[in-house]
Amino acid sequence: MDIVLRAALAFGFIFFLTRVVGRRELSSLEPFDLIMLIVLGDLVQQGVTQSDYSVTGLVLAAGTIALMQVGVSYVNFRFKPLRSVLEGEPIVLIEDGRVLERNVRRERLTRQELEEQARLNQIVSLDDVRWAVLETSGQISFIPKQ
């Protein structure tokens, strides 16, 4: 019984963490992030399975996490008001070439990072951007001025 509850709790906590750390941190995987990901995985495993070395434990823990994932995506799909809580909402960063400082600061983005992302999208200057939107996936989409 306990392994199902621990797996569910771990899922809930990791989900909560991903919501509070910010989407930009999650969209890029720097070497440090990769190491932290492995460390986090190890910590979660210890908390969920503890001394359990069994295949049964693996099936129960993995199954519970899969069910939680399906549950969250179903709630996300079925209940619109909860969508912004579970997934967040796209955030406008640039409007008609003007950087919206409040939104950019809230997402801990620098102007240099915005410019770098713009260059990766073949955009020379932020003045040429009609819309830049930080999507819920953590990616920034750019819509250039015509």
Partner 1 sequence: MRRSLLGLVVVLALLALFDVFGQSPSTTSAAAAAATLHVDSPGAVRGGLLYQVRFTVEAHQDLKSATLVLDTGWLDGLTVNTIEPSPVNEASRNGKLALDLGHVPAGEKYVLFLDYQVNPTTVGTRTQTVALDDGETRILSIDHDLTVFP
Which residues neighbour 89 within 8 Å (Cβ) at sequence distance 6 or greater? 136
Q: Is 135 exposed, middle or buried (0-12, 13-18, 19+ CB in 10 A)?
A: middle
Q: Which CB, 28 or 73, lies closer to partner 1?
A: 73
- CB 140 to partner 1: min, Å: 34
Q: What's the rounded Cα separation, in Å, for the pair 32 and 43? A: 16
Amino acid in the structure at residue 59: V
- CB 103 to partner 1: min, Å: 38
Q: Which two tokens stand for residue 97?
A: 């070439």
Q: What's the rounded Cα separation, in Å, for the pair 58 and 64? A: 10
- CB 7 to partner 1: min, Å: 9
Residues binding partner 1 (CB under 8 A):
1-5, 50-57, 59-60, 63-64, 66-67, 70
Q: Which CB, 34 or 66, lies closer to partner 1?
A: 66
Q: Which CB, 68 or 109, lies closer to partner 1?
A: 68
- CB 3 to partner 1: min, Å: 7
Q: Which CB, 69 or 139, lies closer to partner 1?
A: 69
